[in-house]
Amino acid sequence: MTNPPGSGSNLPPEDQPGWGAPPPQQPGYGQAPGYGQEPGYGQQPGYGQQPAYGQQPGYGQGYPAAPGYSAPSPATPQMDIGTAVRSVLTQYATFSGRARRSEFWWFALASFLASIVASIIDAVIGSDVGAGTGVVSLLLSLALLIPSIAVAVRRLHDTGKSGWWVLLWLIPIIGWIVLIVFWAQDGHPAPNQHGPSPKYQAAGGYGY
């Protein structure tokens, strides 16, 4: 009994579809793979294909995303002289923490101007106590001694240095020059062992 014509179940091999056709081939070395084929060694992957081991990603394929990193937030505006003086005097004897450059140098300028005014007052009222020092100047110097040392120490902390470096002020000329260089340096944007940066903290902090 024969099968109905067209069923194809008992057709001889030579009548089967695809008999004698060459098997599908993988693309050779240096050839681009076709759609749906895996790229061979040394070949670039085609559109929509994943690169094989040891291959660079092709067009439209990106590298894995790098770990997230956020740069320091923009620095806050520099302090003006009034804000700097208030900041130093409200931290009158605070030797911990950090002080930014504008805070230190504005306070140094304000102290210098105040000493000139005190000298003028001493000259007007005749309160000279000897060695060119008047009562008003002496009282002002004593009042500003502790906050001046405190802000100098905090300024060193802002550059990542120990506050004990302030003792270099006892060495004339050379010690003064070294300290002025230290105080003129910009602070570290990242938090250090003395606390967060006063320059970037108010702007949102430092991100990693």
Q: What does each of the 208 residues of the chain score in pLDDT, given as a tens digit?
A: 455 555 545 555 555 655 665 555 555 555 555 555 555 555 555 555 555 555 555 555 555 555 444 455 566 777 889 999 999 999 999 999 999 999 999 999 999 999 999 999 998 888 777 666 789 999 999 999 999 999 999 999 999 999 999 999 999 999 999 999 999 999 888 899 999 988 876 544 433 2
Beta bridge partner(s), residue 195: 192
Q: Is 203 part of any domain?
A: no
First to last CA, the chain: 82
Q: Is 35 part of any domain?
A: no
CA 124 to chain centre: 53
Q: What angle do CA 203, 83, 70 make, to 5 degrees?
A: 10
Range of the domain at 120: 81-192
Q: Is 181 part of any domain?
A: yes
Q: Is 6 part of any domain?
A: no
Q: Is 69 part of any domain?
A: no
Q: Are 49 and 39 in contact (CB under 8 A)?
A: yes
Q: Is 141 part of any domain?
A: yes
pLDDT tens-place string over residues 45-73:
555 555 555 555 555 555 555 544 445 55
CA pair distance 33, 135, nearest whole angstrom: 94
Number of domains in the chain: 1
Q: Is 103 part of any domain?
A: yes
Locus of tokens 């620095």: 75
